[in-house]
Structure 1
Amino acid sequence: MSKEEDQNRHEQLIDFLNEFNLYNGALKKVDKKLTSNQFQSIKTNNINQAVKVLTDVLNLSGGSVSDVDFYELLQAYFQVPSYREKFNTLVKEAKYH
């Protein structure tokens, strides 16, 4: 897909999701794709809204249940670049163990 098609898909998805009462227009469009060196600029509220979408899509009971806290996990992953490599190493280790 072209960059323009990707941007279109992103904007249409945000428009569609914002139609649901759960999101109340809280999901924001991003005017261009973010690269990994820009992830730390993602606002905490936007990460938390994305977690709500994730829990809805996977039909999870919540984003912060028992020993799982997707809110904190994704906030740390996106907003703390120095830890991203550590996360990636742990994920590879767990996946291929």
Structure 2
Amino acid sequence: MSGYLSATANIAEILTAVIAVWFWIRTVYKAKKEQQELCKYLAAEYPKKRNKDDGGDRSLLHLVAALKMTEDEIIQAAFHSNDIEIRLTHSAETGRADIITFSLRRDY
């Protein structure tokens, strides 16, 4: 009986490690995929100038609707990317930051 419990415990330990590694790989893959999706979308939006002052910046709300990602996923993808520039737009009335915009970095 002791040998059976020991073998079961060893199998459970190995399965736990395998499942943990699988979830870690899945999480990293998903984050990288979201980052690439955001970069691809912003690169496609840059040439589509909506007006003469449009530099390809898109608001967080715009990206949520267009990419069907949560605000947190978009912010995490942008913060972990060297290719995405994050800007704050200030309200003329209050002087406080009110809109976060994202664009593809064009300085390199």
Structure 2 length-normalised TM: 0.27
The structure richer in strand per residue is 2
Which structure's relative contact order is higher, taking Cα pairs within 8 Å and 6+ residues apart? 2
- TM-score, normalised to structure 1, is 0.29
Q: When you count helix as a share of all residues, which structure comes out higher?
A: 1
